[in-house]
């Protein structure tokens, strides 16, 4: 494995997530869902846009298979709202 392609979790969380289909900014990763038995990431969790100031924020879950590319500053994802789950 090429060490230049590895990123720390803190670095990944500081990268902005961009939808490649719409070119829209989705925000930043809040958490990761990890399969500890297989040592792999299952999905990324991001806060959904708030409807109101006092509304409960929901989480958007994007499967790891939908991550297209992790660049230097951004993470490109294939985000389809119909496929991804909302927590």
Residue 58 lies in a domain: yes
Residue 82 lies in a domain: no
Structural domain that includes position 73: 3-77
Residue 57 lies in a domain: yes
CATH number assigned to the domain comprising residue 36: 2.30.30.240
Give, in order, the Cα–Cα distances in Å from 83 to each of 12, 54, 79: 23, 27, 8
Tokens linked to 29? 């990763």
Give, in order, the Cα–Cα distances in Å from 57 to each of 3, 46, 84: 36, 10, 16
Residue 18 lies in a domain: yes
User: Is residue 6 very low, low, confident or very high in pLDDT (cuts 50, 70, 90)?
Assistant: confident
Total of domains in the chain: 1
For the whole prediction, is pTM greater than 0.85?
Answer: no
The Cα–Cα gap between 30 and 34 comes to 13
- Sorted by sequence, the CB contacts under 8 Å of residue 7 that are 6+ apart come out as 70
pLDDT tens digits along 39-52:
899 999 998 876 66
User: Is residue 7 very low, low, confident or very high in pLDDT (cuts 50, 70, 90)?
Assistant: confident
Residue 68 lies in a domain: yes
Residue 49 lies in a domain: yes
What are the two backbone dihedrals, phi and then psi, of residue 14, each rounded to the nearest 5 degrees? Answer: -90, -5
């Amino acid at each position: 494995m090429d060490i230049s392609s590895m990123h720390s979790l803190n670095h990944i969380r500081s990268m902005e997530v961009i939808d490649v289909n719409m070119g829209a900014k989705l925000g930043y990763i809040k958490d990761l869902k990890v399969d500890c038995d297989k040592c792999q990431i299952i999905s990324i969790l991001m806060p959904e846009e708030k409807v109101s100031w006092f509304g409960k924020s929901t989480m958007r879950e994007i499967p790891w298979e939908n991550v297209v590319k992790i660049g230097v500053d951004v993470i490109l994802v294939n985000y389809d709202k119909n496929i991804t789950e909302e927590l």
